[in-house]
């Protein structure tokens, strides 16, 4: 087979993979519990996205100020509305724009989601799901169980820093590099077993790199096709 034919096959296969294969969402890593007041407080260092308290927000940066403050279970989205409003259970709020977030963390910066837990009951609270939804598509996810199942999740309480405005856990790491300024970003959290005041989800700058792992199937396919093209090129030179 001629060299140009190999290249044509490689290009065609790459296009098919890119258009026909869905790229899976990146898994977020849950880190904690954090000892001491090492991350925060939310009132001074970072904006809230979902919280049952009054946060110190940057100009023009809204949040879901959900009520009531103590919930056995909750499914809440962020809401970019000032001074803070709750669109209701399982109801998407107004999204942020990429430019709002990169204005806080830098164009190529990354950030984590900090969680301030407000539950003292042993085995009382679990994190069931967290999503970062970009342009209507889930791009980052933490899902230890079944979406929407309030009985399956990761235990996040009790903690030593209960309800003091500092992070007890971190969801790492989110990057918006390469996105357009007007792209939209929405956050969603599902948690259960809360019994002692309001949970707070707020953003903090991350010192770590975006998560890396094994390539997704589409990436592996592109690598294979590239190797095929290299092999064909070598055979063409030998001929």
Taking only the tens place, the pLDDT of each residue in 175-227 is: 999 999 999 999 999 998 887 777 899 999 986 333 333 333 333 343 343 44
- Other CB atoms within 10 A of residue 130 CB: 22
- What's the pLDDT band for 7 if we cut at 50, 70, 90? very low
Q: Are residues 144 and 222 in the same domain?
A: no
Q: Are residues 175 and 225 in the same domain?
A: no
**Pairing state between β 73-77 and 29-31:** unpaired
Q: For residue 86, which phi and psi values (nearest 5 degrees)? A: -100, 115
- What's the pLDDT band for 151 if we cut at 50, 70, 90? low
Residue 46 has pLDDT above 90, yes or no: no
Q: What is the pLDDT of residues 115-130, one digit of tens each?
A: 988 887 776 788 999 9
Mean pLDDT for the chain overall: 77
Query: Quick check: bond before 149 cis, omega within 30?
Result: no
Q: Are residues 89 and 116 in the same domain?
A: yes
**Pairing state between β 96-97 and 110-116:** unpaired
Q: Are residues 74 and 151 in the same domain?
A: yes
Averaged pLDDT, 85-107: 95
Say how many CA atoms lie within 13 Å of 180 toward its Cβ.
Answer: 4
- Other CB atoms within 10 A of residue 48 CB: 26
Q: Are residues 108 and 48 in the same domain?
A: yes
Could you give the CA distance from residue 62 to residue 231 in angstroms, rounded to a whole number? Answer: 54
Residue 132 has pLDDT above 80, yes or no: yes
- What's the pLDDT band for 4 if we cut at 50, 70, 90? very low
Identify the domain containing residue 2 by its residue range. 1-23+216-239
Q: How confident is the model at residue 121, as a pLDDT?
A: 73
Residue 90 has pLDDT above 90, yes or no: yes
Closest to 156 (Cα-Cα) out of 114, 123, 198: 123
Q: How confident is the model at residue 89, as a pLDDT?
A: 93
Q: Are residues 3 and 41 in the same domain?
A: no
Could you give the CA distance from residue 95 to residue 184 in angstroms, rounded to a whole number? Answer: 6
Residue 140 has pLDDT above 90, yes or no: yes
Q: Are residues 4 and 58 in the same domain?
A: no
What are 209's two structure tokens? Answer: 């790199």
Q: What is the pLDDT of residues 48-57, one digit of tens each?
A: 999 988 788 8
Q: Are residues 81 and 198 in the same domain?
A: yes
Q: For residue 190, which phi and psi values (nearest 5 degrees)? A: -125, 125
Q: Are residues 224 and 188 in the same domain?
A: no
Q: Are residues 8 and 40 in the same domain?
A: no
Q: Are residues 61 and 96 in the same domain?
A: yes
Q: How confident is the model at residue 129, as a pLDDT?
A: 94
Q: How confident is the model at residue 221, as a pLDDT?
A: 40
Domain count, the chain: 2
- What's the pLDDT band for 29 if we cut at 50, 70, 90? very high
Distance of CA 100 to the CA centre of its chain: 16
For the CA atoms of 102, 140, 69, 61, the dihedral, rounded to the nearest 10 degrees, stands at: 20
- Other CB atoms within 10 A of residue 140 CB: 23
Cβ neighbours for 68, distance < 8 A, ≥ 6 positions apart: 52
- To the nearest 10 degrees (0 to 180), the angle between helices 3-20 and 217-238 is 180
Could you give the CA distance from residue 85 to residue 206 in angstroms, rounded to a whole number? Answer: 27
Q: Are residues 92 and 69 in the same domain?
A: yes
Residue 8 has pLDDT above 80, yes or no: no
Among 10-14, 66-70, 117-121, the range with the most confident prediction by mean pLDDT is 117-121
Closest to 167 (Cα-Cα) out of 93, 115, 122: 115
Q: How confident is the model at residue 127, as a pLDDT?
A: 92
Give first-to-last CA distance, the chain, whole Å. 11
């Amino acid at each position: 087979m001629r060299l140009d034919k190999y290249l044509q096959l490689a290009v065609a296969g790459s296009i098919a993979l890119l258009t026909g294969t869905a790229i899976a969402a990146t898994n977020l890593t849950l880190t904690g519990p954090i000892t001491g007041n090492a991350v925060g407080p939310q009132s001074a260092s970072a904006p809230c996205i979902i919280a049952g308290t009054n946060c110190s927000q940057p100009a023009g940066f809204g949040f879901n100020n959900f009520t009531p403050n103590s919930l056995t279970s909750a499914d809440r989205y962020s809401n970019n509305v000032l001074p803070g409003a709750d669109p209701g259970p399982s109801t998407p709020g107004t999204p942020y724009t990429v430019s709002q977030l990169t204005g806080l963390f830098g164009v190529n910066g990354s950030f984590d989601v900090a969680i301030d837990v407000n539950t003292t009951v042993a085995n009382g609270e679990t994190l069931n799901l967290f999503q970062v939804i970009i342009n209507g598509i889930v791009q980052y996810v933490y899902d230890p169980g079944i979406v929407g199942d309030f009985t399956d999740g990761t235990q996040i309480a009790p903690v030593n820093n209960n309800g003091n405005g500092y992070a007890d856990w971190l969801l790492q790491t989110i990057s918006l590099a390469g996105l357009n300024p007007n792209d939209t970003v929405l956050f969603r959290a599902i948690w259960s077993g809360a019994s002692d005041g309001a949970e707070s989800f707020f953003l903090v700058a991350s010192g770590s790199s975006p998560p890396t792992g094994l390539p997704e199937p589409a990436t592996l396919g592109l690598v294979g096709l590239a190797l095929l093209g290299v092999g064909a090129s070598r055979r063409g030179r030998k001929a």
